[in-house]
Amino acid sequence: MSNTFGNLFRITTWGESHGDAIGVVVDGCPPLIPLSEEDIQLDLDRRKPGQSEISTQRKEDDKVIIESGVFEGKTLGTPIHLVVRNSDMKSKDYNHMKNLFRPSHADYTYQAKYGIRNWKGGGRASARETIGRVAGGAIAKKILKDHFGIEILSYVKQIYNIKADIIPEHVVKSDIDSNIVRCPDKEIAEKMIDHIKLIRKNGDSLGGIIEAIVRNVPAGLGEPVFGKIDAELARAMLSLPACKGFEIGSGFSSANMTGSEHNDEFYNDNGIIRTKTNNSGGVQGGISNGENIIIRAAFKPTATIMSSQKTVNDEGKPVEMQGRGRHDPCVLPRAVPLVDAMIALVLVDYALIQKTK
């Protein structure tokens, strides 16, 4: 529990936003997987700050180093340690936060739980914590792709009230990365980008929805009744900073449906049993049915905003705080590789365990 995720393929992450470094131990990775720092860097670059005009301007290279578990370009089956050094640590930036609880941040809850917190930039509750997940997830993605042919594609579906019109089955990776907001609907992407720029000027922030499609999932992954694949995906998504909701397939819209509308009819597609509709989102009874897995995760707007806000300090006295420095008006474009990573971490575990049956 706590800072370890997974059963057979496990990541254990460590690091605070303003400490020396952020890292992850990947344990249980099968041996003989070709692995280089480049394989991992690609995903970290999609997550790193300062990558476009609509993300935070914090300057971090986020260069990953493999410190163990790989020998002559291949995994050994022993723990793989990946580390990213923090470079843009400016403690002075944060002295004004030392004694107050920023609204909708985790300052207060960490203080309430532990009686202490690293008040420099969010500490462990900072989104920098997710570097370890993306790094570990990159290895998981590679195994899924190379050994099982599974492809995971996450993308921005909605920013604020701007909703893209996307048929998940049609999405290709190049469309996602064709624009800085990572929305495959290029027209809507422009509107999203414009609105993020506008809101950044206002010093405010925006929420949105990320959707993901997972292709080529074999039927049979998932471990009911508590290790259902949809349950673990929900847990994985809600473990992400700012995530407030999860759905699979028909999701919340299923509430408004009748059984005769919702049921997915089985048919025989040249020897493969498939469903005509996919309200199930690729999972039935907690086990993959071979259809695409389709999920959505809702993200609240970033808590850090530039306008003045009322709050209390650590003595319980009312104070007014003024945002300053850099802020990230919308985390969703950078969260896309993170959603990919978490899905990969969930699936690789199920794919490995299914080999034991």
* Spatial CA neighbour of 342 closest among 24, 55, 85, 17: 24
Q: Please pick, from the candidates 38, 92, 161, 167, the single residue that binds a copy of itself as defined by CB under 8 A.
A: 161
92 binds a copy of itself (CB under 8 A): no
Contacts of 263 (CB under 8 A, 6+ apart): 279
- What's at 164, amino acid-wise? A
37 binds a copy of itself (CB under 8 A): no
Query: For residues 120 and 118, what is the distance between their CA atoms, to the nearest angstrom?
Result: 6
199 binds a copy of itself (CB under 8 A): yes
CB 72, min distance to a copy of itself, A: 8
Residues 283-342 interacting with a copy of itself (rule: CB under 8 A):
283-290, 298-305, 307, 309-312, 316-318
Q: Please pick, from the candidates 264, 333, 337, 343, the single residue that binds a copy of itself as defined by CB under 8 A.
A: 264
105 binds a copy of itself (CB under 8 A): yes
- What's at 172, amino acid-wise? V
87 binds a copy of itself (CB under 8 A): no
Query: For residues 245 and 6, what is the distance between their CA atoms, to the nearest angstrom?
Result: 21
CB 174, min distance to a copy of itself, A: 25
Q: Please pick, from the candidates 62, 129, 175, 211, the single residue that binds a copy of itself as defined by CB under 8 A.
A: 129
180 binds a copy of itself (CB under 8 A): no
Residues 234-253 interacting with a copy of itself (rule: CB under 8 A):
234-239, 241, 243-252
Residue 119 in tokens: 């008040």
Q: Please pick, from the candidates 34, 224, 322, 324, the single residue that binds a copy of itself as defined by CB under 8 A.
A: 224
> Which run of H or E residues covers position 301?
none
Are the C-beta atoms of 76 and 70 separated by less than 8 Å? Answer: yes
Q: Which is closer to a copy of itself, CB of 207 or CB of 325?
A: 207
Stretch of 40-48, 70-78, 88-96, 176-184 lying at the interface with a copy of itself (CB under 8 A): 70-78
Residue 152 in tokens: 């995971």
Q: Please pick, from the candidates 35, 54, 64, 125, the single residue that binds a copy of itself as defined by CB under 8 A.
A: 125
CB 134, min distance to a copy of itself, A: 13
Q: Which is closer to a copy of itself, CB of 67 or CB of 173?
A: 67
Q: Please pick, from the candidates 188, 214, 231, 343, the single residue that binds a copy of itself as defined by CB under 8 A.
A: 231
Query: For residues 4 and 12, what is the distance between their CA atoms, to the nearest angstrom?
Result: 4
Q: Which is closer to a copy of itself, CB of 20 or CB of 187?
A: 20
Q: Which is closer to a copy of itself, CB of 56 or CB of 174?
A: 56
Contacts of 58 (CB under 8 A, 6+ apart): 49, 50, 88, 326
The long-range contacts involving 160-164, CB below 8 angstroms and separated by at least 24 positions, are: 160/195, 160/199, 160/206, 160/207, 160/208, 162/188, 162/191, 162/192, 162/195, 163/188, 164/188, 164/189, 164/192
Residues 3-22 interacting with a copy of itself (rule: CB under 8 A):
3-5, 7-8, 10, 12-16, 19-22
Distances (CA, A) of 306 to 107, 197, 212: 17, 14, 31
* Residue count, binding to a copy of itself (CB under 8 A): 148
Indicate the SS3 state at residue 24: strand
